[in-house]
Structure 1
Amino acid sequence: MVKLNMGCGEDKKEGYINIDNRESCKPDMVYDLEKTPYPFENESAEEILWKDSLEHLSWRVIENVLKECYRILKKGGRMYIQTPDLEIIAKKVILDPNFKYGDLEGYKAIGFWVYGRQDPQPDGSFGGWGGFHKAGFTKQTLKKLLESVGFKIEEIKNDNGSNIICWCKKV
C-alpha cells in the first residue's frame, strides 16, 4: 500500500514515502512538489498527507498539484490536509491588539502566522522553500477548491487553534 507524506520536512512518517525538496531533512525522496506531473502512476496511492506543507507551494500551482493528487489516489483513497486558517488568524489579529505568538508580538507574530517562519538558509539568505507561505486558505476556499478538482469532503474543521484540518477522498 502506497502512502505519501508530501513536504514532510523533519516530520517523517513510518509506512509512508516521505517527500521533500530539501536533502537536509533526509526524506525518502527529494522532489520539488511544485513541479507536476508527479512521478507516480495513476491510482497508485491509498493516502496522501499534506501536513503543514501545502501552503508552502505557490498559489499559482496549487490547483494543478491537487489534480495530480486526485490522479495518483486510488478510488476511495483519502487525502489529509492541515494548513493555517487565514480566517481564524485574521480574526485573532483584528480582535486582539496585544496579539502574540510564543515570544513574538505585533508585526512579527502576524508575519509568522501569515507568511511562515522564514528560516534563513545556511548562507544567511532567505531564499528557497525554508518556511515561506506562498498560499493561504479558509475552510470555505479550501473546500471549494477540493470539490472543483473532484474530491468529496469527509470532514473540514478547525483544530481549536489556527489550522484547518481536512479529510477528503477520491470518489
Structure 2
Amino acid sequence: MLQGFSERLYTSPFSTYLRTEFWIIPVSQTIHILCVAIVIASAAAISARMVGVMGRDQPLADFAKARAVWVFAALIGLVLTGSVQTLAEPEREFGNPIYLTKMALVLVATGLSGVFLILLKRQTPLSTGGRIFGFLLVFLWALITICGRWIAYL
C-alpha cells in the first residue's frame, strides 16, 4: 500500500520540482539539522536543570517553559523540513523501517514532552522518577537523531 502511494507521490509534479531544484533539499536538510540541535540542546538543558547542574536560580517550571517555546518552534521547523524531504523522496522514506521507527519515536517523545510540561505547569514535584523521565526524553530525542542519520544509509 505504501509502495504504490510512494510511487504516485514520487512522480507528482511537486515531488519532481522538490528533487530537481538544486537548492531545496540542501537548505531543507540544513534547517532540519539546526532544529534537531535546538531540540536536543533544550532537552539536555532541562535535564541538567532537573538534576541541579544548571539554572538552580530559576524554578524548574520557568526554566522548562522558556526552553519549551524553542522546542515547539523547532518541532514546527522539523515537520516542515521533514515534509519537504519526504515529499521529494517518498520511496526512500516510506520504504525504510528506520524512517517509520523514527516517526513513531517522534510521536512518543512529543507526547511525553507534553506530559512533562503539564506536570510542571501543575507544580507537580519531580521525584527521582521525574528525573529519570527527563533523561528518557533526552535519550529519545538522541535516538530520533540517530535514526534520522541512518535513514540515508539503509
TM-score (norm 1): 0.24
Pick the structure with more strand per residue.
Answer: 1
- Higher Cα Rg: structure 1 or 2? 2
TM-score (norm 2): 0.26
Structure with the bigger RCO (C-alpha within 8 Å, sep 6+) is 2
